[in-house]
Structure 1
Amino acid sequence: MKKIITFCFFAFALVIGTQNVVAQNKLEINKEANEKAYELRKQLKFSDDVLEETYQAYKGKALKKYSLAKHHGVDTPAYKKNMATLEADFKAKMESILTEEQYSRFVILNESK
């Protein structure tokens, strides 16, 4: 009986630890998306509505990137193919969010990094 209780406690501790790791990754992703959106806002000078949409675009990209890395590994052909598609989708989303002039500057800023 004592072994069963110990095992249950150990399993419960693992579940709690896993949830903390996932939550920490999401917090890091949100923080990174927030920083990138505000940095872009400094460069392109856009409104709060555009800032929110930009934040959501960066957050979505980061979440998908994390998911791809977790499922495929980083150096696999499937990861590289999916990352190319993800990057194209992200650029299309940013093009729909930003004005033509802002998007041109966004592309220049992205290429310089």
Structure 2
Amino acid sequence: MKTLEKQEALLILLQIKTAYPNFNLDNDTKNLWTQFLMETDAETAAHNLRDHIKQSKFQPTIHEIVKPNEEVIFKRRKQLAIQQEKENVDRMRLAVPPPWKTLGITKSEYEDQIIAEMALGKGDE
């Protein structure tokens, strides 16, 4: 997650000013927005601004741009799940082979062998 640099934050403000010409961009406003935008990741701010411009004719508040974005969160969780699955597959490749492979027999033969051993064990009781 990459947070916004100052120049990227200023670019967001320029985009807001372009979409909402009445947006007040004096120094105090610029400083306050920049402070909060620089604590936000770039993807979230970009998605929130895009969504806000599509949905509202009113200029955004800081909160509307820096709040968590469900689309971004979902995308990141999906990427994380895919990465974890790849790691699990890799881990499984390095794991101890199943017992039938170690014994040099098929899975079916191994299952038959286990069933036979269990049956013998029951007869001893």
**Normalization by structure 2: what TM-score?**
0.27
**Normalization by structure 1: what TM-score?**
0.29
Looking at CA atoms only, which structure, 1 or 2, has the larger radius of gyration?
Answer: 2
The structure whose RCO (Cα within 8 Å, separation 6+) is larger is 1
Higher helix residue share: 1
